[in-house]
Amino acid sequence: MKIIKIRVKNIFTKTKLPGCDFVINQYVGCGHSCLYCYSNAICKWLMRMEKKKVPGKWGNWVIAKINAPELVKGKKIKGSVWMSSISDPYQPIERKLKLTRKILENMDKNINLAIQTKSNLILRDIDLFKKFKKIEIGLTINGFEGEIKKLFEPNSSIHKERLKTLKISKKNGIKTYAFISPIIFDLVDVKQCIKETKNFVDYYWFEILNLRASGKEFQNILREKFPKSYQVMIDKEKFEKFVKNLKEIIKKERIKTPGIVIHYPGFKIIKI
């Protein structure tokens, strides 16, 4: 893993992402090495904009903004903050660098903060979460296990650990949400994901795979190894039927959710 340490001028970035006003990315890139990760495409675009070269293959490098903890000190933020949008705040390198923990220590505890991850490492910082007046913890849930987990999400926490993480967070009085993603036809059992989390999740986000942003490597593997799933994701009629059925499944569960995020043919949120 190539670690590139840099210093930056700002750490809070305004965003148009649904549900938040600012994002904070103390890391760029991610050691979880998820094959479908949209951040790969976003990071490449950012590098081009800054006229910089991508450090290497996705998952093999991480840029760490080492002065991020200093930049949050004394900052009064009006609006909601999401950590993180182009990385995972609890990816493997966090065990050593502890940038996320240092940021939480220095951050104004009145900030409305949401943190999303695929790692049970987040449990390390429960003591700090309890100091915030308004905070929520989200885990990406998709049920990937075995060979498909190794293929799609090689370095992230396993499914059972993520469920346990949500459960422990809830027991500690922290608001929780499940981010069911990436939803792929025939590969992700949304009903089962809800069933396994319903007792300790306050609300849900649902996101259908953004095939275009997932990258050529993932697209090729999905087409070769899971042709049935791939066909539904590229066929307009089949895709619309898939979305309709998904909406009905979620509706019957009677859970709290802003809706389903889809990226085809354009970004939108389908309310339930």
| Interatomic CA distance for residues 46 and 85, integer angstroms | 13
Count, residues in the chain: 272
Rg (CA), the chain: 18
Tell me the pLDDT tens digit for each residue of 104-138: 999 999 999 999 999 999 999 999 999 999 999 99
Supply 114's token pair: 């949401």
String of DSSP letters for 57-100: STTSEEEEETTHHHHTTT----SEEEE-SSS-TTSTTHHHH-HH
| Interatomic CA distance for residues 44 and 58, integer angstroms | 10
More reliable by pLDDT, 23 or 57: 23
Q: Which domain holds residue 56?
A: 2-270
The mean pLDDT of 247-271, rounded to a whole number, is 92
Compute CA distances 55 → 2, 60, 216, 248, whole Å: 8, 8, 19, 43
pLDDT of residue 53: 73
Query: How many domains in the chain?
Result: 1
- Return the SS3 of 31: coil
Give the pLDDT band (50/70/90) at residue 270: very high
Supply 121's token pair: 């490492």
Geometric angle at alpha carbon 176, from 171 and 182, rounded to 5°: 135
The pairing of strands 22-24 and 12-14 is antiparallel
| Interatomic CA distance for residues 232 and 254, integer angstroms | 26
Give the pLDDT band (50/70/90) at residue 50: low
CATH of the domain at 123: 3.80.30
Tell me the pLDDT tens digit for each residue of 5-45: 999 999 999 998 888 999 999 999 999 999 999 877 766 65
Supply 218's token pair: 């993932």
